Structure 1
């Protein structure tokens, strides 16, 4: 009797190849957000990483997709690394979308608007209309030119905000501070690095709340690797908060997001990012908005003394500019402890 021998099993090369491919795909998807999370937590703002870190919120979203892929393919080691990266990235990003508790400030309400005019190209009529519509009390402008100064007054800004400290210059270096109330101790800060931006400042006499120092902030832009040193220096040179002294507000185009360590170091002196406090910290303020595929990032900020309560933040639109104005409603302490 002849008995057939059992068939010799053949290696399932196709299935094994597919498994290896799936594992490789998982590692390729997981590695970038994991590396990004490490760089963000370390605070490694150097060279081309400065520009890259501005897009951390988008990488945080991608980290969730990478984790989902690893879990769906049951690749547990990549999934573990993806989970750590997702938790780290989401942990620094999600709080910006959640409003935080505010100090019990009982003083007057102040509405502050900041706008980058793109070398004076921002539409003056629209900006004045925003000041009028939202009853703005204080306005800071960057990239402020002589032509922009004339146009703003032509549309009535001189009647709405008659007190001002202005440094209009051709190009992108000019700066301005407008106020409904009188200004004192005014001046202009000159950057010694990079782009030579200027920053107008003054002390605003807020009725019922005492004085508050307001400055139109505009540090250098890290537009190229050789500008990163100037960017670091300009952010480090910004006036720190004075938690044991008078109130300060910095408002403008910081050319930095909350994922950049120099801006976080400035906040740690005693400021609060108003958009972050109001739960609007993920709204992009710079596109560019000219059809490029670069997604918006949040580089325009209003930094306020921690004793000031942030009631709301609204990101508006300004035709002609690649930045979006930021409107902040604040409640000041009353009475101010250091007049």
Structure 2
């Protein structure tokens, strides 16, 4: 039995080590990015392996396993070391929603917008049909200003707001619709608002995903205004190119982006997949800020008819 525990334990530790390696390597390949997506799960498997080795009294192997697990847990620690923020009635409420090829229930989503008193809504996978459905459900009564670029399939996007939106543009050199607009709130400094949806690292060639994240780093580093981003990044914290986007790596004098989940210590807030018998495991949908706006709260919510959960953040501005 001890021999069996040793073998199974080492299998778990090796899987954990592969996940940790994928987190740090930054290797751009379909296999490596897929493994990195599940690094937290693999670290958990490594922890089980460590326990089995301890039960088997394989002390040297357990010591090696402990190092792997410690490094793995350390890689996730920044997600849980956040700060406590006080939510104010003057905070902006930002909602990010991927509506699954436009098939999510429009009435349910609009009801959630009303309930949460949303000020800015970023919608991903917006189609012409879903644009019309959202308007019939009364979205423009709540958020009368909009800049949208609906497309068939999963490439469309939109920004809806309670206050005026101007200077709307579609970002160049991106496969999907990635949008920018300026939000003007009376008595406050204007905000740059982005609705982002870079390509996924698989099944697309992963170099295209990496190129789009690099393009977004360039675009965002050039924007010196206060900004708020709602996005389905098709990336997790364990993808090194995504962490480079957050840190502003290779961009001169570019401050870091603030991820609401990381800033608040919310940990992994998984939003995909939401339409399976098992819980969501990948944290793809996010709210980010920079140059002044600060997240003060974050919560996940269900989007009826979508394969993603949405997120709602309050932002001090």
* TM-score of the pair, normalised by structure 2: 0.90
Give the 3 Å change call, closer, same or farther, for CA 101–160 of structure 1 in structure 2.
same
Where 1:286 maps in the other structure, the secondary structure is coil
- Displacement after TM superposition at 1:60 (Å): 2.0
Q: Distance in 2 between matches of 1:105 and 1:243?
A: 30
- Displacement after TM superposition at 1:117 (Å): 1.0
Contact map agreement 1:45 1:261 (CA 8 A) in 2 = no
Q: Distance in 2 between matches of 1:249 and 1:152?
A: 23
Task: Give the equivalent residue in structure 2 for 1:90.
Answer: 73
- Displacement after TM superposition at 1:212 (Å): 1.0
Write the deviation string for residues 273-327 of structure 1: whole angstroms up to 9, x where unpaired. Answer: 1122223231210115134x68521111111116322111111011111011110
Corresponding residue to 1:110 among 92, 101, 104:
92
Over the aligned positions, Cα root-mean-square deviation in angstroms equals 2.4
1:48 counterpart = 2:31? yes
Q: Distance in 2 between matches of 1:252 and 1:296?
A: 17
Q: Distance in 1 between matches of 2:87 and 2:297?
A: 14
Q: Distance in 1 between matches of 2:71 and 2:15?
A: 13
Matches within 5 A, 1:258-277: 258-269=237-248, 270-277=256-263
Where 1:304 maps in the other structure, the secondary structure is strand
Corresponding residue to 2:108 among 105, 111, 126:
126
Matches within 5 A, 1:2-151: 20-100=3-83, 108-151=90-133
Corresponding residue to 2:294 among 309, 313, 317:
309
- Displacement after TM superposition at 1:27 (Å): 2.4
Write the deviation string for residues 258-286 of structure 1: whole angstroms up to 9, x where unpaired. Answer: 10111101110210111222232312101
1:285 counterpart = 2:264? no
Please list every run of at least 4 consecutive aligned residues from structure 1 whose deviation after the TM superposition is greater than 6 angstroms: 104-107
* TM-score of the pair, normalised by structure 1: 0.84
Contact map agreement 1:107 1:209 (CA 8 A) in 2 = no
Q: Distance in 2 between matches of 1:219 and 1:189?
A: 11
Q: Distance in 2 between matches of 1:248 and 1:161?
A: 19
Larger of the two Rg values belongs to structure: 1
- Displacement after TM superposition at 1:37 (Å): 1.5
Task: Give the equivalent residue in structure 1 for 2:228.
Answer: 249
Contact map agreement 1:191 1:198 (CA 8 A) in 2 = no
